[in-house]
A and B are shown apart, each in its own frame.
Chain A
Amino acid sequence: MTKIELKGVSYLYGGKTPFEKKALNNINACIEEGSITGIIGHTGSGKSTLVQLLNGLLRPTEGQILLDGRDIWEKPKKMRALRFKVGLVFQYPEYQLFEETVKQDIAFGPKNMGLSSDEAERRVMDAAKFCGLGQELMGKSPFELSGGQKRRVAIAGVMAMSPEVLILDEPAAGLDPQGRSDIFGGICEYRRKTGATVIIVSHSMEDIARYCDRVLVMSKGQVWAEGSCDEIFSRADELEAIGLDIPQIARLVRLLKEKGVDLGDKLYTVGDVYRALLPYFTGGDGGAS
């Protein structure tokens, strides 16, 4: 079932000044309920604008955005209710922390929803668990935490509103490998428990290949392509032409193929390649070659 549908969406920044710029131009796309969709595109391709349109922080200059088949701008007064349904985690969300304790900060969203303190408390605990934040952290000041922990607190702050659609803009940017996998682990956990639709904006093709089942490629304010990881990453040369790339490991597989070692197709993550290589080491039937 389609969760979000974009119909001819365009967005213009700074209208009628010398700084005018068309950020998005006639976007048409569908996002399936329960999927994890990755949005890729090089800097300035309109990814961040697109996600802000999805939860109504920006209003499209032209076109419609439908959530469950209804235009999100049908009742502009109800915009807050929409934001509880479509949770958006910005880039570097740790800069939005402000409360005295981690717990209070995560509870900011649920409190704005007008939930009872019991219910808010329960949501906070659930969200903290998804993001791997232990009880001992809840009473600390968010400013004492490490960068990765702060990031997880900020993400938990949005998860605590139990959004049906969770959008994350570069959730793992600037984190170490451990921090990255903690964040993505939390996101996957949230989706598994709630069945939410997830949209991830990322520059890391590795992360996209590993976690997403659909990919939306943006270029110059337009949707350049949409499809499964396989459909997108098989067009490596075209991706390079628009300033993108395929996962490193997939590049290796391609090079090996050119040299005469064919490991097979659809290998985009280290795990895939590991399994494809295993027969060569265990002396089995020689795998795909």
Chain B
Amino acid sequence: MLRDITLGQYFPGNSVFHRTDPRVKIVLTMLYIVAVFMADSLLSYLIMTAGTILLIAVSRIPLKTVTSGFKTILFIIIFTAVLNIFWTKGENLLFSFGIINVYAEGLIHAGKMVLRLACLLMGTSVLISYTTSPIALTDGLERLLSPLKVIKLPVHEFAMMMTIALRFIPTLIEETDKIMNAQKARGADFTEGNLLQRAKALIPILIPLFVSAFMRAGELATAMECRCYHGGEGRTRMTVLKTKPLDWILLSVFIAYGVGIILL
């Protein structure tokens, strides 16, 4: 269950998207999100879906991995669909039951919303989570936001915090697994009982987890200080990001994709 979080789940590979500059990928992702939200006509939806499928195919991430993220947002998808089916008013009444009226428009709208959410989830996770290592991602973000330093925004510190947070997601998951197993070995049961009992069953996991997370944070801070870390001032990078022709090609493709969806 903890393995379903897609954020920070880098999937190693050597596809076009793996090799793209992280800064460009962040821009691409934003373009993609805008494009998906601008889709309106049937044709634009078709382009949107085709583009997303192409994206997944090019990234060479197994389809099973891409769709595994659905479990986490399944509730939101179902909720959206139900809301749209029952609350959209239209002209073609399909059937009515008491105060519930279902219109054809509602069904179409629900279908569109579900499709949009699915594309959004798969597209962004392929572009960002699966093909970008967390380090590259925050690196790109820091460079992209660096103009904001002018207005005294601590961009480097934000990026560092994000790097650390992303870096520790797998560690915390592993730690949680370990503690869960240790408590299971003492007969703890996390799957049975009512909501209150289940919430109570989490205490033996959460307390040790918090204790070790705080300890780890303290140790990390000390270790960073020992290596003379003092924030972003005057700090240089080991790998300097440089855009390649491939990045510009991808950028133009995505702009074309976005413009296409908006115009059609």
Contact = CB atoms under 8 A, between A and B. Distances in A.
Contacts, number: 63
Given A18-B11, A18-B12, A98-B204, A57 B186 contact: no
Given A18-B12, A96-B208, A55 B185 contact: yes
A98 B203 contact: yes
B187 A80 contact: yes
Interface in B174-226: 178-179, 181-189, 203-204, 207-208, 211-212
B72 interface: no
A80 B201 CA distance: 15
B258 to A, nearest CB: 32
Contacts of A157: 186
Interface string A111-145: 01100000000000000000000000000000100
Contacts of B204: 96, 98, 108
B185 A95 contact: no
B186 A112 contact: yes
A113 B185 contact: no
B206 to A, nearest CB: 8
Contacts of B12: 18
A158 B186 CA distance: 6
A215 interface: no
Tier of interface size on chain B: 20 to 34
A16 B68 CA distance: 13
A158 B185 contact: yes
Given A18-B12, A98-B208, A84 B187 contact: yes
B187 A96 contact: no
Nearest to A87: B185
A180 interface: no
Contact of A98 (B13, B65, B187, B207): B207
Contacts of A95: 178-179, 182, 208, 211-212
A273 B10 CA distance: 54
A144 to B, nearest CB: 13
A150 B12 CA distance: 40
Nearest to A91: B178
Contacts of A88: 185
Interface string A158-180: 10010000000000000000000
Interface string A38-80: 0000000000000010010100000000000000000000001
A90 B186 contact: no
Interface residues of A, number: 26
A57 B184 contact: yes
A90 B11 contact: no
A90 B182 contact: yes
A96 B181 CA distance: 10
A90 B186 CA distance: 11
Given A18-B11, A18-B12, A90-B178, A96 B189 contact: no
A98 B209 CA distance: 9
Contacts of A97: 208
A96 B11 contact: no
A84 B184 CA distance: 10
A158 B182 CA distance: 10
A109 interface: yes
Contact of A57 (B185, B187, B203): B185
A17 interface: yes
A81 B62 CA distance: 39
Contacts of A83: 184-187
Nearest to B188: A112
Interface string B38-57: 00000000000000000000
B7 to A, nearest CB: 17
B150 to A, nearest CB: 42
Interface string B82-105: 000000000000000000000000
A258 B66 CA distance: 63
A221 interface: no
A157 B12 CA distance: 41
A186 interface: no
Give the interface centre of B65, B189, B204, B212 by most chain A CB atoms within 10 Å. Answer: B204
Give the interface centre of B11, B65, B187, B212 by most chain A CB atoms within 10 Å. Answer: B187
Contacts of B208: 95-98
A103 to B, nearest CB: 15
A109 B186 contact: yes
A112 to B, nearest CB: 3
Interface string A9-33: 0000000111000000000000000
9 contacts: A55-B185, A93-B182, A96-B208, A108-B186, A108-B187, A108-B188, A112-B187, A158-B186, A161-B186
Q: Which are the 6 A-B pairs with shortest beta-carbon distances?
A: A112-B187, A98-B207, A96-B182, A109-B186, A88-B185, A90-B182
Interface of B: 11-13, 62, 64-65, 178-179, 181-189, 203-204, 207-208, 211-212
Given A95-B212, A96-B182, A157-B186, 12 more contacts: A52-B181, A87-B185, A89-B185, A90-B178, A93-B182, A95-B178, A95-B179, A96-B208, A98-B208, A109-B187, A112-B189, A161-B186
